Each structure stands twice: as structure tokens, then as C-alpha cells.
């Protein structure tokens, strides 16, 4: 209730929708690739065909996720706009050149852009993460926002290095492209959740409301 007795609507719970928007496209990519992948991984033509079909599905699912975010959450975060644009761009190059390396490089580019942008903001005394995630961290003070932006900036750069290592080990030429896609779900997702949970004590020390901690992991930046 406000001072005039008018009921103020509460922010709807959006954790499940956020997870769907952030990780749904990667899951679609993984399932489409697995469906079309040839039994013989030495079949280079079949492997590339499966990657192309998976990439097209990934692009469509990413655009759908953006629309869902707008319709269900009433907003599209700048990070989601950027990641969707890069998915479509690098996906188009993958399809055009018939070269899966483009879709594997895409996460590295996203992580580097996010990481450097956040760290540049911290260097200039601005917690840029606050502008896109303020509603998720109710009560967090300026010091907390600066530390959170710094930590996520460093974490994104670590993910960029990790993705580069993994894409050189698991790729289409050596028949392990499917493993790389699976790691996007079964390694990067748990790492991101774990990293977010590790931040909670620091966030609570810097003023974040305890009830906001319940839904914080669903509001983390997407590790595309």
C-alpha cells in the first residue's frame, strides 16, 4: 500500500522464465545437434550438416527467447539484446561458411565483451551491472554493486578462456563438437550458479535484502 492507500503491485516471480530465456536456446541447440548427428563421427559431411541444423534451431530459439522475455517480463535486458544479436550474427556465418568454428567462437566474444565492459565501468567508478539488474538485488548499496560488477567482469573473462580451451579440445574436426555443446549445459551452467551463490554473503553484507537472495540465482547474467 502507498501513502494514499493504493495497492502497489508486486514484481511477479520470474525465475523460471529467466532460466528458460537464458538456457532454453542452448538446450535446443544441443537437442537439435544430437538428433541430426551421424552415428559415425568420422562422417564430416554429416557432422557439419548436424551443426548447421542445430545452429539454425539455436538462432530461432534465441529470437523466441527474446520475444518471451519482452512478453512475460516486460523487458529485454541489454545483455540479452547483445547476446541474441551475436548468436544470430555468428550463427549466420556458421551457416554461410559451413564452418562450426564460428558458433564456438561466439561465447568467447560475448564473455570478453561483457567482462571488459564491466571492468571498464568499475575502473571509471561506475557499477554498470546495476543498470541492468537493480531489481534483482533489492537494497544493495553502491559498494556492493561495484564489487559485484568487478567479480562478474573477472568471471566472464575466466569463462572466455575456458571456452577457448574447450573449443580447441572439442570441435567438429576431431568429432567432439557434441561434447562442447553438452559442456555449455553441464559445465558452464553449474559454474555460473556456483559463482552466483558464492556472491551471496558479500551481497548480504552490503545491504541486499535477505528475501531477495531467494531468487537471485535466476537473475544472474546469462553465460551464453
Q: What is the DSSP string of 50-61?
A: HHHHHHHHHHHH
Domain boundaries, the chain: 15-219
Residue reference for cell 553484507: 205
Measured distance between the N- and C-terminal CA atoms of the chain, rounded to whole angstroms: 39
Is the pLDDT score of 223 beyond 60?
A: no
Whole-number mean pLDDT of the chain? 82
pLDDT higher than 80, residue 136:
no
What pLDDT band is residue 209 in, cutting at 50, 70 and 90?
Answer: low
How many other C-beta atoms lie within 10 A of the C-beta of residue 78?
Answer: 12
Q: Which long-range contacts (CB under 8 A, 24 or more apart) does 189-198 make?
A: 189/23, 189/223, 191/159, 191/223, 192/220, 192/223, 193/217, 193/220, 195/151, 195/155, 195/220, 196/220
Closest CA to 88 of 55, 112, 132: 55
Render pLDDT for 138-147 as a digit per residue (tens, 0 to 9).
Answer: 788 999 999 9
Cell of 107: 561465447
Query: Which DSSP string do the residues of 7-65 spell out, in sequence order?
Result: PPPPPPP-HHHHHHHHHHHHHHHHHHHHHH--S-TT-HHHHHHHHHHHHHHHHHHHHHH
Report the Cα 101 to chain-centroid distance in Å.
19
Give the residue from 154, 152, 149, 223 showing the smallest Cα distance to 189.
Answer: 223
Q: What is the pLDDT of residue 148?
A: 92
Amino acid at each position: 500500500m502507498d501513502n494514499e492507500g493504493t495497492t502497489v503491485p508486486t514484481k511477479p516471480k520470474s525465475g523460471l522464465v529467466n532460466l528458460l530465456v537464458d538456457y532454453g536456446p542452448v538446450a535446443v541447440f544441443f537437442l537439435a545437434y544430437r538428433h541430426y548427428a551421424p552415428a559415425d563421427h568420422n562422417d564430416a559431411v554429416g557432422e557439419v550438416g548436424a551443426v548447421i541444423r542445430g545452429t539454425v534451431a539455436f538462432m530461432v530459439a534465441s529470437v523466441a527467447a527474446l520475444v518471451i522475455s519482452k512478453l512475460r517480463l516486460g523487458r529485454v535486458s541489454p545483455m540479452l539484446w547483445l547476446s541474441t544479436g551475436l548468436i544470430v550474427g555468428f550463427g549466420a556465418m556458421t551457416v554461410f561458411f559451413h564452418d562450426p568454428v564460428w558458433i564456438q567462437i561466439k561465447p568467447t566474444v560475448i564473455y570478453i565483451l561483457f567482462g571488459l565492459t564491466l571492468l571498464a565501468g568499475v575502473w571509471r567508478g561506475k557499477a554498470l551491472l546495476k543498470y541492468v539488474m537493480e531489481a534483482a538485488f533489492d537494497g544493495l548499496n553502491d559498494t556492493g554493486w561495484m564489487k559485484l560488477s568487478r567479480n562478474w567482469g573477472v568471471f566472464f573473462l575466466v569463462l572466455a578462456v575456458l571456452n577457448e580451451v574447450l573449443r580447441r579440445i572439442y570441435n567438429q574436426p576431431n568429432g567432439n563438437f557434441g561434447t562442447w555443446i553438452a559442456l555449455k549445459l553441464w559445465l558452464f551452467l553449474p559454474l555460473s550458479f556456483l559463482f552466483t551463490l558464492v556472491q551471496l554473503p558479500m551481497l548480504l553484507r552490503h545491504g541486499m535484502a535477505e528475501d531477495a537472495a531467494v531468487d537471485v540465482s535466476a537473475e544472474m547474467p546469462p553465460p551464453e
